[in-house]
Amino acid sequence: MSKLVFITGATSGFGKAAAEVFASNNWNLILTGRREDRLQSIKTELETKYSISIYTLVFDVQQKAAVFAAIQSLPENWQAIDVLVNNAGLALGRDNFDEADMDDWETMIDTNIKGLLYVSRAVLPYMTKRKQGHIINLGSTAGKEAYEKGNVYCGSKAAVDSISKGMRIDLLPHHIKVTAIHPGAAETEFSMIRFKGDESKAAAVYAGYTPLSAKDVADVIYYCASLPAHVCINDLVLTCTAQANSFYTYKG
Ligand code: NDP
Ligand code: 8X3
């Protein structure tokens, strides 16, 4: 029987690439995001290409009531979720702490931290009921070590790192695995969102070296999800070869 993965932020980047990797391995998918048109075209494309089924849910992870309403609306035959990939997230701005836009801070905290908490709590009853499951949280190298002008984005990902550790302990009695994956710089729509559509600033982030691709990260997400039930990768950092940590990239 096919397994079922629930992926947030499936309209772009890691989430979209992960959807394809899971589909190509015969998993059924629940794909979520705010951009319904993209979810529909990804569903059509992957269902045509692979013998799998896809269910889409449109919601903003910041909206607690909407998250619970959407996830609780899943039909019974879509409730046996094996893996949840908490991927939806973003950075907004790259500014000194004393100058950053505080609305950007609110959005990052509400999305990267609170959104992950809401989705996890809404999906968990489907896992605890079956006494099995796996939650994969997307952190970042930014959460391992703060960098200049990263302040609240780095803090939000440090929270994902710490919350993942706590989730892992508390969910053990339910036989639910928790994995935190922390990628370094990867070329997706991430920097275009961070720099609010400024193409030259976004491109500069990836100039002079080969960053990770969305597929690189998706393959690692799938690897963690496909291990035997008794094996759990708890914490995983991956970067491109040119990157040593969150703030040092060799551009030689
Ligand atoms: P993208 O911008 O390409 O994709 C982000 C995804 O998150 C989109 O599908 C978007 O969907 C979704 N999303 C954003 N805000 C919300 C929201 N409020 N509600 C629902 N969905 C939302 O970025 P990446 O794929 O690069 O990033 C994915 C995750 O990986 C993020 O958590 C990011 O912080 C993290 N990360 C990224 C790295 C990178 O260098 N790219 C490195 C390390 C971690 P939609 O707009 O349709 O809602
Ligand atoms: C995204 C990677 O280095 O831009 O989390 O913060 S970085």
Over the stretch 135-144, which tens digit does the pLDDT of each residue have? Answer: 999 999 999 9
| Within-domain flag for 247 | no
8 Å CB contact between 32 and 59: yes
| Within-domain flag for 227 | yes
- At residue 1, the pLDDT reads 82
**pLDDT, tens only, 168-216:** 999 999 999 999 999 999 999 999 999 999 999 999 999 999 999 999 9
CATH number of domain containing 167: 3.40.50.720
Q: Give the closest residue (by CA) to ligand 2 atom 7.
A: 185
What range defines the domain where residue 56 resides? 4-238
| Within-domain flag for 245 | no
Instruction: Indicate if 153 belongs to the active site.
Output: yes
Q: Which atom of ligand 1 is nearest to the CA of 61?
A: 19
* ipTM value for the complex: 0.99
Q: Give the closest residue (by CA) to ligand 1 atom 24.
A: 13
| Within-domain flag for 209 | yes
| Within-domain flag for 243 | no
- At residue 147, the pLDDT reads 98
Q: Is 185 in the pocket of ligand 2 (CB under 6 A)?
A: yes
Q: Is 31 in the pocket of ligand 2 (CB under 6 A)?
A: no
| Within-domain flag for 248 | no
Q: Is 57 in the pocket of ligand 2 (CB under 6 A)?
A: no
- At residue 32, the pLDDT reads 99
Six-digit token string for 164: 């993942």
Overall number of domains in the chain: 1
DSSP 220: H
- At residue 12, the pLDDT reads 98
8 Å CB contact between 50 and 28: no
Helix (H, G, I), strand (E, B) or coil at 77: helix
- At residue 252, the pLDDT reads 84
Confidence of residue 233 (pLDDT cuts 50, 70, 90): very high
- At residue 198, the pLDDT reads 98
State the Cα–Cα distance between residues 44 and 37, nearest whole angstrom.
11
| Within-domain flag for 212 | yes
| Within-domain flag for 249 | no
**Arithmetic mean of pLDDT, 142-151:** 98
pTM of the entire predicted model: 0.99
Using a 6 Å CB cutoff, which residues line ligand 1? 8-15, 33-35, 60-62, 87-90, 111, 115, 138, 140, 183, 185-186, 188-190, 193
Q: Taking every pair of C-alpha atoms in the chain, what is the biggest distance, in angstroms? A: 54
**pLDDT, tens only, 33-72:** 999 999 999 999 999 999 999 999 999 999 999 999 999 9
Helices (H), the chain: 13-24, 36-49, 64-72, 102-108, 116-130, 141-144, 151-171, 190-194, 199-205, 214-225
Q: Give the closest residue (by CA) to ligand 2 atom 6.
A: 142
- At residue 190, the pLDDT reads 98
